[in-house]
A and B are shown apart, each in its own frame.
Chain A
Amino acid sequence: METLQNLVRNLAVVLLLAGFLEMLLPNSSMRGFVKLVMGLFVISAVLGPVTDFLRAPLAMGVPAWNMTASQDLPVMANGQEVKAGQNAVQEQFRRIIVNQVQALVVTVKGVSDAQVEVEFEEGAKGLTEQPRIAWIRVKLDGVRPIEPVKIGEASPELSARAGEVRRQVALFMGLPEDKVIVDE
């Protein structure tokens, strides 16, 4: 019952947000994109409780709700508790980004699996503020394709697929390429 109550309340808030954000748009040609993202949000919001109900263990790549809501935290009187809330939010961001990067990397040809690490920069203040990504390290699994050996090359260069992974991750996460480190 409580889950249903939460679900309805949160869906109401999401729809309200979607309405506000659509009104904020300068022209109507971007309306479809906002609707798309909000629709995905609603899908994710409905899927979460449903999978809970079915007791299907499903790690949602992009959860719709914060696991530790700010009102569930104790009264934020001292800095330590604020820090605890921030750490929880950061952990969640980290999980979201790791899942996304993994989903992206697996689509690159010749990559079967990958481990992803994300490090954030210091200095995100609020609970809602997204921390900025300091770097992303991707470790590719699977057999490295054999490349023709070129005599006279001093530094080991990235293989073609590593370069591709790096380019894609940088493009989709909106990062400069030197913040994406690819190991093989």
Chain B
Amino acid sequence: MDIWQIVGLALIVTVIGVVLRQFRPEIALQLTILAGVTIFLLILGKIKIIIELLQNLADQASISSYYLLIVLKIVGIAYVSEFGAQICRDAGEGALASKVEIAAKVTVLILAIPIITAILESLIRLLG
């Protein structure tokens, strides 16, 4: 079980971080980022299993994987931007964090635009 490793790592890094923050806050921040990356790497293996399951399911139901891929990309962008934004917010850069979130939302919307135009197109052809 990875959960013990993750919680243990987080607790140890928290203790070291509290000590380090008193005299070297810049290196304490880097320590936090690194711990976050490590935990993320541990989780990603499991996320990959879930996604493979979903893709198998979609494949068996003969669902066009186009939609699934778009939604997967949205989830991926959400994860990465959340990661960056929370680190920025932790270091006291709240403004930067919300900019990262805005950028993620715009990117996701741009991913969805091709589908919206194509479906609108076929709807208009159907009705017109």
B interface residues, tally (CB under 8 Å):
46
Contact with A along B98-117 (1 / 0, CB 8 A): 00010011001111111111
Main secondary structure of the interface of B (DSSP, over half): helix
Contact B75 A29 (CB under 8 A): no
A-B contact count (CB 8 A): 144
Q: Which residue of A lies closest to B125 (CB)?
A: A58
A interface residues, tally (CB under 8 Å):
57
Contact A70 B60 (CB under 8 A): yes
Known contacts: A63-B64, A128-B65. The answer to whether A20 contacts B119 by CB under 8 A is no
Q: Which of A10-18, A113-121, A141-149, A154-162 contacts B (4 or more CB under 8 A)?
A: A10-18
Contact B118 A30 (CB under 8 A): no
Give the complex CA separation of A174 and B111 in angstroms.
Answer: 8
Smallest beta-carbon distance B118→chain A, Å: 3
Hey, which bits of chain A sit against chain B, CB under 8 A? 9-10, 13-14, 16-17, 20-21, 24-27, 29-30, 33-34, 36-38, 40-41, 43-44, 47, 51, 56, 58-66, 69-72, 89, 92-93, 96, 99-100, 103-104, 107, 126-130, 171-174
